[in-house]
Amino acid sequence: MQGSVKLKFDITEGMATEQKYQIPFNMYVRGTYFGDVEILSRELDTVGRDGTAEVLNESYFLYIDKLNLSRVLKSFPNIKREMRYVASERKARHEENIDIIRKKFAEMKREIIRDRMEESSRSKGGYESRPLSQ
């Protein structure tokens, strides 16, 4: 790959909302590769992709589909083993990053709800401090 690509996670996935809120959690630059997790992961059939790639600038890619990559890697078992290892490490790191994003998002939602409840309570005469009438 030549260029740079940002991998993003849609925090609103599965929510009843029209607006998507995608948060970057990984970056790929010149000389790196991506898509290995999806191709080499054994759980792919049940798990699916863990992010969406966004090209950040002019980039060039070499595309190899799963079938052709499998054919090539049959001749190079050491490289296949190393790529599987890298893919499993990346998958674990992606899951950790996504988990952190989910926790931060849940924390932000709780804070927003708490703030709105406090505002609502103050507007109804709840927590707001008022001088005593004499």
Query: What pLDDT does 99 receive?
Result: 92
- Residue 127 included in any domain: no
Q: What's the total number of domains in the chain?
A: 1
Query: What pLDDT does 44 receive?
Result: 47
- Residue 55 included in any domain: yes
Please, are residues 23 and 101 in contact by the beta-carbon 8 Å criterion?
A: yes
**Whether pTM exceeds 0.75:** no
Distance CA 27, CA 116 (A): 35
Residue appearing with tokens 């990984």: 26
Each residue of 12-25: pLDDT tens digit?
Answer: 777 777 778 888 88
Query: What pLDDT does 68 receive?
Result: 93
Each residue of 42-80: pLDDT tens digit?
Answer: 644 455 677 888 999 999 998 998 899 999 999 999 999
The residue range of the domain holding 37 is 4-119
Query: What pLDDT does 128 receive?
Result: 52
Would you say residue 37 has pLDDT above 60?
yes
- Residue 134 included in any domain: no
Each residue of 78-133: pLDDT tens digit?
Answer: 999 999 999 989 889 989 999 999 899 899 989 999 988 888 888 776 555 555 55
- Residue 130 included in any domain: no
- Residue 24 included in any domain: yes
